[in-house]
Every structure is written in structure tokens, then in C-alpha cells.
Structure 1
Amino acid sequence: MSDKTPTSLRNQFLIAMPNMADPNFADSVTYICEHNENGAMGIVINRPTDMTLGEVFAQIGIDSDEAIAHQQEIVCAGGPVQLERGFVLHDSRDNWESTLNIAPGINLTTSRDILQALAEDRGPQQIIIALGYAGWGAGQLEDELKENAWLTCEASPEILFETPIHLRRQAAAASIGVDLQLLSPDTGHA
């Protein structure tokens, strides 16, 4: 069996609809890293925390040069699951100790070696750092889609890595011609 089923949402954005009641996902855009018959896993990419990568370095005991470009990188709240666990979405072709290649130019790494490389200014240049992730059990995400909780669209490295955090949701929706300001929070089924 391939790692991408015909209905897989891997390498897609999930854009929360205006009627999203779950406060963990209201007004969010989530990048789906894995989706198969066992469930789905993603990283919310538009929820900044008040923490920087430099603070993460300090907390886990990694010495870093204050001049490193990523020192002031904002850490995102990646989702409500395992909030103490760090994730790095990045563009690097390098493979670290624990890297999942999601799509061309988009990878997810969870091992400390990538943080050490970033602290030494030898890591990937385009990154999103997140604490926690979003997870769905088997069939759960599909049920939420049937209930019109999410819009989906193809992900792009430009939206992930080049669009400011606060504009990512609007940019993802605009990529499929949707203006979120015009969507009603009420849902219905014909």
C-alpha cells in the first residue's frame, strides 16, 4: 500500500470554517503531514505563541549565537496534542535523525539535531517551529469534513514559509478563490 491513499489530505491545508466551535482550531489553518486509514496528523501554522526559538534553545540547553537569524523566530502552537513536543517544518533537503519527507521542499523533523544545527546557523533557512500537533483518529477528520468544519486546499511552500503568520489562513483560502470574510458561520445541507 502506498503512503498516500487516493483520499489522503497529506500536503493539504485544512482551513477552519467560520462555524468551527473547537477553540483549538477556530480561525486556524493546519498543514496536514500525514493522513491514512489510521488517522491524520498536522501542524497548526497560524497560532503564534509568545515564545521565540532563542527561548527554546535556552530551555533545552542549546548554546546559540545571539546573532543567528532564527533566534527571534516565533514558535507556533502546533495543536492541542503533546504540547511539550517540538516540531520543525522546513524546506531543507537534509535528513535529520527524525525527518518525514512530506512533499518536495517540505519536511517535518522532530529530533534535537535540527535545533542544534539552527543554533549553529547550519540548518534549513525556511522553517516553522511548533509546539504540539493536531491529531485525528481513524475516520474522525473525514467526519469533520462531512460536517463542513473545514475547507481543504493544496499546500504551498510559499504560504508555509514566506507568508506572515497572521496572513496564512487568508492566503490559503485565497489560493482556492475563497474570501473568508464572505463565508457565513451557519451551515446547511441540501
Structure 2
Amino acid sequence: MNTDLTGKLLIALPGIGDPQFSRSVILLCAHSPDFAMGIVLNKPMEGIRLPELFDQLDVSTELGAPDACVLNGGPVSTERGFVIHTGDVISEGATLEIDGVFCMTATRDMLEMIGSSAAPRKSVLALGYSGWGAGQLEMELAANAWLVGDPDDDIVFGDDHGQKWTHALGRMGVDSGRLQIDGGSA
């Protein structure tokens, strides 16, 4: 049985075992029996903000880049940018509709739109993504590495990155202070 988790959040549990994903909140952008792909939403990159990145990439914009952080979306393709945005603006043939609310686009024209009057209502840019091969995410879920939850605008687009993990757990009724790394035995 395969359950499509596209559009859901993966919320790392304390015993995940990979420090890179400790306390991570990931929006799953695509999920199938063959692969899964998502963007970490709560790990801003050190020392780089959108205006500097736009300068480095020589992205010309009508209004300039908003002063926002750039997220570390995950360890795969860290040289590529992925924009998570509202569906009010799309790049024809390039935008992936995630779930009817959120979209992802990985093209330069979306970067140019972010700095223009044609910008999506809300957006966030990440470098890199998190990826899983066939069955890998399902094994991690079975091993209790992740909880699966629903996203909201604060988690996806908010700038309080230090609270996104706690907020995502709280939306599920989970108190982060009561989570244990190891399970008990009976």
C-alpha cells in the first residue's frame, strides 16, 4: 500500500540519527513509490540572504530582492535554487503544483518575478533539496524517524525558523518537551 504524502510535512523526531536533519521540518514536494523530494523549511543558511544571492547570480529585478533568508533545503543539488511559493504566480511548464496551496519552481524567471511587481504573494528560496530513493522514506517512517503533519503559511513562509519545529509538532498536539529519543520496552 502506498500513501502519497505530497504536500505533507515531515517533522524529524529526536531519534532521527542524522544530525543534518535534527529538528528539521520538510515540505514534501513530490512523493511516489520510486522517490520522494522535499525542502527543509527551518534551516536558514549562514551568511547569505536573498539580495546577496541575487547579486551573485546576476539576477536583474524590477524592485530588487526582498531582504529574506535563503534556506538550506537539503543535501542534494545544493547549487540549485528551489522556490516554494503561493499558486497566484506560476512559470508555465516549470511550476510544480504541490497540493493546491503551495507550488515549487526551480527556474531563473521565478527569481526575477520575486523581485518584481509580478511576485507571488508569498515565497521562500532554498538551495538544495532532500531526496529519498524507492522505499527509503517509507523505511524511515516505519523506524519512527519522522512524524507526518499538515503545513500552514507560518511553517512554510514564516521567518521564525527556530520555532517551526515546535509549531509543527504543536499543530499535531505533540509537546516537544515530552518526546524521547529511545522508545521504552515492556
TM-score (norm 1): 0.89
C-alpha RMSD of matched pairs (Å): 1.9
Q: Does 1:55 align with 2:52?
A: yes
Match of 1:123 in 2: 119
User: Is it true that 1:145 corresponds to 2:141 in the alignment?
Assistant: yes
Q: Quote the offset at 1:163 in angstroms.
A: 5.9
**148-157 or 27-36, which moves further after superposition?**
148-157
- Name whichever of 91-100 and 132-141 sits farther off: 91-100
Mean CA deviation greater in 49-58 or 80-89: 49-58
Distance between the aligned counterparts of 1:162 and 1:83, measured in 2? 22
**TM-fit CA distance, 1:25:** 0.6
Measure how far apart 1:105 and its partner are. 2.2
1:134 and 2:91 are equivalent in the alignment: no
Which whole-Å CA distance do the structure 2 matches of 1:106 and 1:189 have between them? 41
Q: Which moved more, 1:117-126 or 1:157-166?
A: 157-166
The one of 87, 96, 109 equivalent to 1:92 is 87
2:71 maps to: 76
**Amino-acid identity (%):** 39
Q: TM-score if structure 2 supplies the norm length?
A: 0.91
Please give the secondary structure, in 2, of the residue aligned with 1:33: strand
Do 1:75 and 1:131's aligned partners in 2 also have CA atoms closer than 8 Å?
yes
Determine helix, strand or coil for the equivalent of 2:162.
helix
Q: Return closer, same or farther for 1:40/1:188 CA change in 2, 3 Å cut-off.
A: farther
State the partner residue of 1:17: 13
- Does the residue aligned with 2:163 lie in a helix, a strand or coil? helix
| Equivalences, count | 184
Alignment gaps of 5+ in structure 2: none
* Matched letter for residue 76 of structure 1: L
Query: In structure 2, do the counterparts of structure 1 residues 57 and 163 end up closer, same or farther at CA, with 3 Å as the change threshold?
Result: closer
CA contact (8 A) 2:12 2:21 kept: yes
List gaps (5 residues or longer) in structure 1: none
Determine if contact 1:14/1:151 at 8 Å carries over to the other structure: yes
